[in-house]
Amino acid sequence: MTQKIMPQTTLGRDAQPKSKVKTSHVFIYIFLVLLAIICIVPFYIMIIYGTHTNSEIASKFIFLPGSALVENYHSMMENVNIWRGFMNSLIISCCSTALTLYFGALNAYGFAKFKFKGNKVLFWFVLATMMVPQQLGLVGTFRIMYLLHLLDTYAALILPAAANAFAVFFVKQFIDGTIPDEIMESARVDGAGEFKTFNRIILPMLVPALAALGIFSFIGSWNNFMGPLVLLFSNDKYPLPLLVQLLQGYYGTNYGVQYLGVALSVLPIIIAFAIFSKRIIGSVAIGAVKG
C-alpha cells in the first residue's frame, strides 16, 4: 500500500524540491496507512470469521472468507431473531430521533427568538445539564419508569429523548446565525399564529441543522446499551446491542455465530457511515468547536 502512495508524493508538490522533506513524507504516509489498517482490521476479521464454522475458527488464523455463512445464519436464527432486533433498534432510534429533533428545535426557537424573563438563566441551566453524567440518575430512572408503568416498553427509551440539551444548544446556534427576526415579523403581519409560524416557516429552514443533528442522535440511540439493559426485560423487545450480548449467552462456544451476529449489528452503521461520513464528521467538528 505504501508503494502505491509513494509516487504520488513525488509527483505532488514539485514546488519544494527538497528530497529530505520527501523522505519524511513517506514516513508520514506509512504511519497513516498503518493506523488506517489498525482501524479496519477488526471489522475485516469480524466479517471473515462470520463466514466460517466453529471448527475452522478453532484450528487456525483465517484471512479469507469461508462457506459457512448460511449455516451460521440458520443456527443464529434458531435462538436469536436478529431481524426482530433490527426492527426494535429501528423503531426506538427513529422515534427517539424524531422527538429529539422536534422538541430540541421547538425549545431552541423559544430561547433564540423570544426575550422572556429568565431566558438566559434557563438556557444556562439547559447547558449545565449536559455536564451531568447519565449514570447519576440511573436508579431513579428505573423508579420513574416503574411508577409510570413504562418498564419493558419502547416508550421508556423514547420519551426521555425529547429533553436533549445538546440538540437545543446545537439548533440555537444555527438559528442565531441564520434566521433573522424579520421572518417571524412578516409571518405575524400575515396573521399566522406563533406555532403555525414555527411549524410551517421556521422548521423547514432548520433542515440543514436538523439533518446533522439527526444523524448523531440516531447513532447515539442505535448504540445505546445501558438504557435498554436496565429498562427492558423481554427478549423480543431487545434492540441489537442487547441481542448481540444475548448471543454470548446462547452460543458461548460457537464463535462463527457470534462473529456473524456482531457483524450484522454493525453493518447498518458501516452503511450509514459510507453514505453520510462527510456530514457526520463535519457536525462533530461544529458541535465541539462551538461548545
Partner 1 sequence: MFSKGLKKEHYGYLFIAPFFIIFIVFGLYPIVYSFYLSLSSWDGFGSPEIIGFANYKRLIGDYMFYKALFNTLFIWVISVIPQLTVSLILAVILHEKFIKGKSLFRAIFFFPNIVTAASLGLLVGLIFSWQSGSFNELLINLGIISDPVNWPDKPYFMRLLISSILFWQYFGYSMIIYIAGLQGISRDLLEAAEIDGASKVQVFFKITLPLLKPIMIFQVITSIIGGMQIFDQPYTLTNGSGNPDNATLTSVMYLYKTAFTRYQYGYGSAIAFGLFIIIVIFSIISFVVMNRKTKGAQG
What part of residues 61-120 is at the interface with partner 1 (CB under 8 A)?
61-62, 103-104, 106-107, 109-111, 113-116, 119
Contact between residue 175 and residue 113 where contact means Cβ atoms under 8 Å apart: yes
Q: Least distance to partner 1 from the beta carbon of 77, Å?
A: 18
Nearer CB in complex with partner 1: 179/266? 266
4 binds partner 1 (CB under 8 A): no
Q: How far is Cα 182 from Cα 252, in angstroms, rounded to an integer? A: 63
Q: Cα separation of 166 and 137, whole Å?
A: 18
Nearest by Cα to 184 from 113, 249, 255: 113
Nearest to 162 by CA among 102, 218, 225, 202: 102
Of the candidate spans 64-72, 79-87, 174-182, 281-289, the one that interacts with partner 1 by CB under 8 A turns out to be 281-289
**Residues 206-245 close enough to bind partner 1 by CB under 8 A:** 219, 222-223, 225-226, 229-230, 240-242, 244-245
Q: Does 201 sit near partner 1 (CB under 8 A)? A: no
Alpha carbons 265 and 258: distance in angstroms, whole number: 11
Q: How far is CA 99 from the centre of its chain?
A: 15
Least distance to partner 1, CB of residue 25, Å? 7
**Shortest distance, CB of residue 246 to partner 1, whole angstroms?**
10
CB atoms within 10 A of CB 210: 23
Cβ 212 to partner 1, closest distance in Å? 14
Q: Which of these ranges, 65-73, 74-82, 174-182, 266-274, lies near partner 1 under the rule CB under 8 A?
A: 266-274
Nearer CB in complex with partner 1: 154/255:
255
- Indicate the residue among 174 and 259 with the shorter CB distance to partner 1: 259
Q: CB under 8 Å to 252, separation ≥6 — which residues?
A: none
Distance from the Cα of residue 166 to its chain's centroid: 14
Residue type present at position 187: A
Minimum CB separation from partner 1 for residue 67, in Å? 18
d(CA 237, CA 246): 12
Site string for partner 1, 132-171 (x = CB under 8 A): xxxxxxxxxxxxx--------------xx-xx----x---
d(CA 105, CA 102): 5
Kindly state the smallest distance separating residue 36's Cβ from partner 1, in Å: 5
Binding residue (CB under 8 A) for partner 1 from 88, 93, 221, 258: 258
Binding mask 26-65 for partner 1 (x = CB under 8 A): --x--xx--xx-xxx-xx-xx--x----x--xx-xxx---
- Give long-range contacts, CB 8 A cutoff, 24+ apart: 142-148: 142/230, 142/231, 145/231
Q: Is 262 in the site for partner 1 (CB under 8 A)?
A: yes
Residue 78 or 233 having the CB closest to partner 1: 233
| CB-neighbour burial class of residue 245 (10 A; exposed 0-12, middle 13-18, buried 19+) | middle
Q: Cβ 270 to partner 1, closest distance in Å?
A: 8
